[in-house]
Structures are given as C-alpha cells and as structure tokens.
C-alpha cells in the first residue's frame, strides 16, 4: 500500500484508539496494527464492490437506452414497472427508476441493513443519472435482438451490482421479505410479481409486447444466474481457520448469524503431525455474502472458505434475524 496512505491510516487508528481509551497513555504498534488491517480490508473491499456497481450501472443503462427504451419494450421487476410507467406517462425514466425503487429500498433498510440500502440508493441514483444524461446509440430495431440482448445487458448490470453488495432492481428485496413471511420461495414471489407486470403490459401496450417482455426477462434472469448464481439461492459457507473462535464470535455477535461447529482434523502431513481444528458452517443469502467476506478478511485473510449454493432451506435463524 502507498506509504502516504498507510501513514494516514495509522494516524486515524491512533486517534481512534486514544478516543476509546480516554487516557494519555501512548498507543503501541501492537494496538494500531489490527485496526489498520481492518481499515485496509474495508477500503479494498469497498473499492472492489463499487467497481462492480459502476460496471453494472453502465451495463444496465446500455441495455435500457440502447435496446429497450427506444423500442417501447418492458422488462420484469422494478425496472419493468418503470419502463411500463414511462410508456404511459410523460415522466423521465431516470425519475421513475428512483420513485419506483424507493419503497423497496426502505424495506431493504429494515430487512437486510442500512449499509446495503445506502449502497443500493447510490447504485440506483447512478443508474438514473446514466439513463438521463448519457446518450447510448440505438443498436437495432429487430424485436428478437432487442429482447435477447436488452435482457442480457440489463441482467449483467443487475448481476454486477449484486456482486457489489447492492441492487438496482428492488423487487428482489420485496421477494426476500415476503418469503420470510409466507410459505413461498423467493423465486415463487418473483414469478408472481412479474406475472402481474406482464399482464398489465399486455393490457396497456399489447400482447406481443408482453410476450417479448417475457423473453427479455428470461434473458436477464439467466444472465443474473450466470453472474451471481441467482438472488433466490442461499450460500452455504464452510470456514476453516486457526482463528475459528474469533470467526464464530463475529458471526454470532456482529452478523447475527447462527453457525454450526464441526470438530475437524488437519489431514495434511505425515502420521502423528495432524492437528485438531474447529470447522465453521453457516448459511447466508447472496446479498449478504460481500459483508461476510469482508468480516472474515478482517480476522484472517488466509482462512480457507468453501461456498456452495443452497437452493432453499427451512427453519433456523437465516430468515428470522436481519443482517446488521
């Protein structure tokens, strides 16, 4: 890391420790180093996540203005609602994107967390500015190409934004919330929401437009699956680390997630040199994965992490306690 930047972080860490101590005792290097490491992890992860968000915003803007908007096409989700309202009102699409997503973002602050909601507000605001100010060229007037590639670039944008720990389409948040209240999966809720949107599109615009909208939605959904393995899937995370106790406490107290501890034994090495270690297993949603990785890196950058897709689950704490 840049020496000047490192010095700034050291100074910030020293001031923070002194403020917490409320004494004039000198701060040692041993006290400063862990806090500086935390700052470095948070900054590096934030840069990576906002890089994903920016790519996602410009990709979604290209899908909207280069394909869907000039040809009066719609999509599913909050973006589809905005496009539908744009076809029947005189409001600018950028303004509609903000207005339609605001209730979902408020719900996100209650369901997932304030940081996630703020990051999503920034992402959606950037998308609104891109749609309003950037003139993308109209690529084609072929309806099939519009539906397929408009959905592809829009899905790529949604997926990259999710990789950055945010959303630019708020209906995923509503689906997560309703799935916790009802005996439905997130995929079922999203399907019901989009059936309503496409039905209104068929009535207001035309059946043909609604059919192409379904094709656009499928292309976008498959692209999102390719980028982030799908918002409706949970992620089972296995963590192997020598700092397993610190990680366990972090999961329970900071992320408010339940975890299971397996008694394990290291298998690398000759007979008599293996060693016991606890193995942590927990389940999070895709939207919570970025924060979990950040918190793990703060404690142990060398932790061995195995992530696997969990299609759905029942019971436990995953649907009951919101991520802070």
Give the mean model confidence (pLDDT) for residues 238-258.
89
Give the mean model confidence (pLDDT) for residues 19-42.
75
Mean of the per-residue pLDDT values of the chain: 83
Residue 34 is assigned to a structural domain of this protein: no
Strand, helix or coil for residue 277: strand
Among the candidates 183, 201, 228, a domain finishes at 228
Q: Report pLDDT for 324.
A: 46
Same domain, 54 and 192: yes
Give the span between the Cα atoms of 294 and 301, in whole angstroms.
9
Residue 117 is assigned to a structural domain of this protein: yes
Residue 57 in tokens: 């915003």
CATH of the domain at 272: 3.30.70.120
Q: For residue 40, is it left (φ>0), alpha (ψ between -120 and 50) or beta?
A: alpha
The answer to whether 58 touches 66, Cβ cutoff 8 Å, is: no
Residue 316 is assigned to a structural domain of this protein: no
Q: What is the pLDDT of residues 90-119, one digit of tens each?
A: 888 889 999 999 999 898 888 888 888 999
Residue 33 is assigned to a structural domain of this protein: no
Higher-confidence residue of 180 and 259: namely: 259
Same domain, 182 and 205: yes
Q: Report pLDDT for 320.
A: 47
Residue 119 is assigned to a structural domain of this protein: yes
Residue 263 pairs in a beta bridge with: 278
The continuous run of DSSP H or E covering 298 comes out as: helix 289-299
Q: Report pLDDT for 23.
A: 63
Give the span between the Cα atoms of 301 and 316, in whole angstroms.
28
Give the span between the Cα atoms of 25 and 216, in whole angstroms.
63
Give the domain extent around 261: 234-310
Q: What is the pLDDT of residues 279-308, one digit of tens each?
A: 999 988 777 888 898 999 999 988 999 998
CA distances from 284 to 124, 258, 308 (A): 24, 10, 11
Same domain, 209 and 78: yes
- Smallest CA-to-CA distance from 162 within 233, 75, 255 is with 233
Residue 236 in tokens: 């089972």
Indicate the pLDDT class of residue 37, thresholds 50, 70 and 90: confident
Same domain, 167 and 70: yes
Same domain, 135 and 217: yes
Same domain, 275 and 218: no
Give the span between the Cα atoms of 149 and 219, in whole angstroms.
8
Q: Report pLDDT for 50.
A: 93
| 158 class by beta-carbon count within 10 Å (0-12 exposed, 13-18 middle, 19+ buried) | buried
How many domains does the structure of the chain reveal? 2
What is the rounded end-to-end Cα distance, in angstroms, of the chain?
Answer: 29
Same domain, 86 and 103: yes
Residue 20 is assigned to a structural domain of this protein: no
Among the candidates 190, 211, 228, a domain finishes at 228
Q: What is the pLDDT of residues 200-231, one digit of tens each?
A: 988 888 899 889 989 998 898 888 877 865 55
Give the span between the Cα atoms of 30 and 59, in whole angstroms.
45
Give the span between the Cα atoms of 170 and 160, in whole angstroms.
15
Same domain, 124 and 72: yes
Measured at the alpha carbon of residue 215, what is the angle toward residues 225 and 91, in degrees to the nearest 5? Answer: 100
Measured at the alpha carbon of residue 49, what is the angle toward residues 47 and 55, in degrees to the nearest 5? Answer: 100
Give the mean model confidence (pLDDT) for residues 145-162.
91
Among the candidates 228, 258, 273, a domain finishes at 228
Rg over CA atoms, the chain: 23
- Smallest CA-to-CA distance from 286 within 306, 309, 305 is with 309
Q: Report pLDDT for 187.
A: 67
- From edge to edge, which strands make up the β-sheet containing 276-285? 260-265, 276-285, 234-240, 304-310
Same domain, 60 and 91: yes
Same domain, 187 and 287: no
Same domain, 165 and 197: yes
Q: Report pLDDT for 1.
A: 57
Residue 322 is assigned to a structural domain of this protein: no
Indicate the pLDDT class of residue 159, thresholds 50, 70 and 90: confident
Q: How much of the chain, in percent, has pLDDT values that exceed 70?
A: 88
Residue 315 is assigned to a structural domain of this protein: no
Same domain, 130 and 113: yes
């Amino acid at each position: 890391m840049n020496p000047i930047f490192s010095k700034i972080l050291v100074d910030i860490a020293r001031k923070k420790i002194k403020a917490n101590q409320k004494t004039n005792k000198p701060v040692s290097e041993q006290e400063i180093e862990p806090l500086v490491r935390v700052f470095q992890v948070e900054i590096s992860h934030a840069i990576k996540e906002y890089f994903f968000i920016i790519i996602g915003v410009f990709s979604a803007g290209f899908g909207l203005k280069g394909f869907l908007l000039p040809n009066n096409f719609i999509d599913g989700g909050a973006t589809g609602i905005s496009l539908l309202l744009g076809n029947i009102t005189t409001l600018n699409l950028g303004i509609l994107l903000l207005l339609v997503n605001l209730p979902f973002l408020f719900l996100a602050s209650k369901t997932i967390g304030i940081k996630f909601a703020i990051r999503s507000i920034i992402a959606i605001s950037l998308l609104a500015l891109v749609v309003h100010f950037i003139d993308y060229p109209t690529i084609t007037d072929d309806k099939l190409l519009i539906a397929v590639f408009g959905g592809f670039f829009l899905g790529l944008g949604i997926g990259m934004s999710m990789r950055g720990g945010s959303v630019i389409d708020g209906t995923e948040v509503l689906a997560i919330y309703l799935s916790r209240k009802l005996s439905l999966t997130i995929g079922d809720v999203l399907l019901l929401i989009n059936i309503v949107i496409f039905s209104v599109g068929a009535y207001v615009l035309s059946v043909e437009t609604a059919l192409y909208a379904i094709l656009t939605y499928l292309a976008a959904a498959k692209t999102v699956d390719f980028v982030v393995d799908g918002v409706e899937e949970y992620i089972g995370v296995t963590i192997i680390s020598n700092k397993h106790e610190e990680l366990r406490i972090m999961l329970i107290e900071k992320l408010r997630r339940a975890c299971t501890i397996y008694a394990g034994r290291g298998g690398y090495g000759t007979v008599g040199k293996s060693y016991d270690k606890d193995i942590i297993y927990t389940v999070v949603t895709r939207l919570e994965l970025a924060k979990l990785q950040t918190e793990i890196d703060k404690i142990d950058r060398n932790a061995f992490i195995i992530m696997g897709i969990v299609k759905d689950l029942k019971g436990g704490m995953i649907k009951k306690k919101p991520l802070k």
